Amino acid sequence: MLGIDLIFKVAAIGIIVAVLNQLLVRSGREDQAMMTTLAGLVVVLLMVIEQISYLFETVKNMFGL
């Protein structure tokens, strides 16, 4: 259940960042659009970092490393 929630959250953030990016690019603020995209990426990475760490742990346990 938590996984699905996280996926929806990431999708929603993706949509919002894409719209923000378009808004900024159309008003001639390419630099800020780039920064917004990067900020969105960082936020999403912070959200999924726990899951990624969990994935690595599982892989390590699976192969007995």
Partner 1 sequence: MPFLYLRAIALIMIMFGCGFLGVFYSEKFHKRVLHLVDFQNALNTFKFNVDFLESPLYEALKNIATESSVVKKIFENISDKLRNFSNVRIDEIFKEIIHKFEEELFIKDEDVSILVEFSDKLGQGNKEHEINNINLALMKLKLSEEMAREEEKINQKLYRGIGFLVGIFIVILLV
Report how far residue 7's alpha carbon sits from residue 59's, in angstroms, rounded to the nearest whole number: 21
Tell me how crowded residue 19 is: count the other CB atoms within 10 A of its CB: 10
The Cα 6–Cα 48 span in angstroms is 8
Nearer to partner 1 by Cβ, of 18 and 59: the residue is 18
Give helix 2-26 / helix 30-62 axis angle, nearest 10°: 160
Q: Does 13 bind partner 1 (CB under 8 A)?
A: yes
Q: Site residues for partner 1, window 17-46 (CB under 8 A)?
A: 19-20, 23-24, 27-29, 43
The distance of closest approach from Cβ of residue 24 to partner 1 in the complex, given in angstroms and rounded to an integer, is 7
Interaction site with partner 1 (CB under 8 A): 9, 12-13, 16, 19-20, 23-24, 27-29, 43
